[in-house]
Structure 1
Amino acid sequence: MIQTFISRRGTDELLLFFAGWGMDTRPFAELNHIGCDCCICYDYTHLDFDASLLAGYKSIEVYAWSFGVWAASVVLPDSRLPIRHATAINGTPCGIDPKRGISPEIFTATLEHLDAASLNKFYRRMCNDRDTLNRFLEILPHRNLESLRNELASIGTGVAQYPAPRFHWDRAIVGNKDRIFPTDNQLRAWAEEHTPVTSIEAAHYLPFRPLVLERRFDKAVIKTRFESAASTYEQEGLIQEQIARHLNEIIPNPPAEGYRHILEIGCGTGKLTRLLVGRFPHARFTLNDLSPRMESHIEQLPFEHLDFVAGDAECTDFGEKYDLVVSASTIQWFTDLDGFLRRISSHLSDSGVIAFSSFIAGNLPEIRNLATTEMPYWEYDDLKRLFERYFQLDIFERQEYTLHFDSPIDLLRHLRDTGVTGTPGNRHKGFNFIKRYRETFGESQESQLTYCPVYIIAHKKKQL
């Protein structure tokens, strides 16, 4: 078994991911910025798992996919690792079984007839649709046929040796379009294990980052934090206001007919909204925020027409076409940004424009150096590639702003009063934070925070 760290940021938490047959780290590169260290396990030709490589972590979350569920079930019971939670995805502990895994006949036929053509057929069945397949082919593992054949044969031998490994899985995710591990077999296996199951609309291969982030991001907690900070956000959110002003300035002037319908995602207390209403007073506005309480902050603005839609933008069907879609300092909280951008591109008019800002890797480095976990910010290049998948980019630029404070206590107060706590689920304990801040940055009372936003202006891709 190969164990490779794709992210090593010095956090106390580790994501330990067991891949499926035939993989390497390439299909899981999206997990290199999920807010903690990440180790990928793959190639089960030998089950020589080395737990010592993971020494020092205080908390480990395990995710396993496909035959990785069987492999993890074999090697983890005696590892004595500090496993906090374990999630199985489209696989079963027994791996090969006529009723609780892959059919033995299908497994044997796959092994005996494995060649380039049959492998491509396997990938098609694994992905189930053209878009998913094309995306997978962009990050295809760098493995040759001989290594795949040897691994598959070893899995067959290993399952015969360890047919029913005992490991506690906290949750199983089962795709209802899985054509590799039959859905009914998965459900049967997990029912026998008394493991809670989440059924999703997905094929065997699916985006893994959203599944990981949905546990790391508690939207209810995020909503509560920003509601608590709403009364102080206007005064303390100096950087957010600066970002909103710059984003408004770089939004291109509308065509002759104007931006007739504008959608804002994450309007908050209205920092960007006020600027947009002043600039486009005759537009129809649809404003969204996770918290319904934010409506009271913006309803007094001089709109000609306003629709307020409360709720999680990732789960909301906005239902219409928009000439301008804007969002300031919000999308860094999204668990499935890829899915959101795909959906929002379909709601953009043919000449429509998007104008977004977000925070990227390198944001609040002072907090990252002191926290045990960190925000799963996108890397600049990865985020740019993601937007290019759905839009034609006009502007994609990063900037840096620094705030100075008289003391670490003032810095902490700023984080509290803006709702920006740096990491999901991480409470900065006051005195401990101050102590660590001074140990890291020196005894000087003056403290600082560095914000790293990216600005994105893009328009809808032309259909070929």
Structure 2
Amino acid sequence: MNSGRKQRISDAFGAAANHYDDHAGPQRAAAALVADLAQRQKSTGVERILEIGCGTGLLTRHIQARWPGAELVVTDLSPDMLARTAKGAFVAGTFFTMDGEAPPFEGEWFDLILSNLAFQWFDNLPEALERLTRLLRPGGSLIFSTMGEGSFARWRQAHEECGHVAGVPVYPDLAKLRTILARYEDAFAFDEEYLLSSSSARGLVRHLKGIGAVVPSEGRQPLAPKDLRQVMAAFDEAGGDDIYQLLFGRITRPDV
């Protein structure tokens, strides 16, 4: 795992912790859908839940409301994000800093493992899913959302029109996620699109900074100011709004 990149991600989200919720429209909608999917999948018989990448607690609060009697283990790569959730979410549970790709658990621990928009930061998604699935009890489910290839397509297009490559990470498409999940006996994936009404390139950049999503793809360097101005002008000319394509996945361990 790229510990240097993970530290940069942690620092970026930590810096955004105090104002993240002001910019988190798609993230808030995705958290509600992950919680709804989990409740439909396993509304009762839930004793222990692991959340990966809690951020400011958008999903955490849904979990606590739906399964108030369950033991809740809440984790995030960023200590500052974790502290904000632990302090202000009115949620009882165990909170600790953790890289979701390297959970310090062994054996069948959890009835539900839930995550909202954290898996796109993983170095190796297929291997991470295998590790996490092994932590499920029989009949338990891993349910998550992650970024899809279509996210920020208009921002990428503006870069291409100007002869540049956007620093936005390359996300999997729905077909690739379904291929990854095909190895599991009981799994599915689907996608949803959310319009991000940023109104301008400045608005989009403000949104990305507001949520802490500012760590570029490995090896990418910031554009020179004149090149960035050119890209921003092309984006604005195309309308100034963009799209989140969010992928949702579920893996359920056989109940044997």
Q: Same fold (TM over 0.5)?
A: yes
Structure 2 runs not aligned, ≥5 long: none
The TM-score with structure 2 as length reference comes to 0.85
* Equivalent residue runs for 1:132-171 within 5 Å: none
Residue in structure 2 matching 1:405, options 184, 198, 207: 198
Q: Mark the CA change 1:365 to 1:238 in structure 2 (over 3 Å): closer, same or farther.
A: same
1:453 matched to 2:240? The reply is no
After TM superposition, give the deviation of residue 302 of structure 1 in Å. Answer: 4.0
When residues 362 and 330 of structure 1 are mapped into structure 2, their CA distance, relative to the original with a 3 A threshold, is same
Q: 1:355 to 1:294 in 2, by over 3 A?
A: same
Give the direction of change, closer, same or farther, for the CA distance of 1:388–1:413 in structure 2 (3 Å limit): same
Give % identity.
25
Pairing 1:292–2:86 present: no
Q: CA deviation at 1:457?
A: 2.4
Query: 2:131 — aligned with what?
Result: 343
2: CA distance, partners of 1:432 / 1:264: 40
**Number of matched pairs:** 246
Other-structure match for 1:435: 230
Alpha-carbon contact 2:14-2:79 (below 8 Å) kept: no
Higher gyration radius (CA): 1
1:73-92 aligned at under 5 Å gives the runs: none
Equivalent position SS for 1:390: coil
SS in 1 for 2:61: helix
1:419 aligns with 2:187: no
On the 8 A contact 1:286/1:307 being kept in 2, the answer is yes
Of 360, 371, 393, the residue aligned with 2:148 is 360
User: How far apart are 1:311 and its partner, in Å?
Assistant: 2.6
TM-score (norm 1): 0.49
Partner of residue 238, structure 1 = 25
Q: What's the counterpart of residue 4 of structure 1?
A: none
Cα shift at 1:406: 3.2
TM alignment of 1:46-445, pairs within 5 A: 214=2, 218-253=5-40, 257-300=44-87, 301-304=89-92, 306-319=93-106, 321-369=109-157, 370=159, 372=165, 373-390=167-184, 392-393=186-187, 395-421=188-214, 423-424=216-217, 425-427=220-222, 432-439=227-234, 442=237
Confirm or deny: 8 A CA contact 1:341 1:390 kept in the other structure. Answer: no
CA distance in 2 between partners of 1:234 and 1:255 (Å)? 28
1:454 maps to a residue whose letter is L
- Partner Cα distance (2:174, 2:44) in 1: 34
Letter in 2 for 1:280: W
Q: Which has the higher contact order (CA 8 A, sep 6+)?
A: 2
Cα distance change of structure 1 residues 223 and 430 upon mapping to structure 2, 3 Å threshold = farther
RMSD: 2.5
The superposition leaves residues 87-112 of structure 1 with CA deviations (integer Å, 9 ceiling, x where unpaired) of xxxxxxxxxxxxxxxxxxxxxxxxxx
Secondary structure of the equivalent of 2:45? coil
* Residues in 2 aligned to 1:272 and 1:235: alpha-carbon distance in whole angstroms: 16
Please report how far the alpha carbon of residue 405 of structure 1 lies from its aligned counterpart in structure 2 after TM superposition: 2.5
Task: Give the AA of the match of 1:418.
Answer: I
Letter in 2 for 1:410: G
Give 5+ residue unaligned stretches, structure 1. 1-209
Give the letter aligned to residue 335 of structure 1.
Answer: D
User: What is aligned with 1:205?
Assistant: none
Partners of 1:219 and 1:250 lie apart in 2 by 29
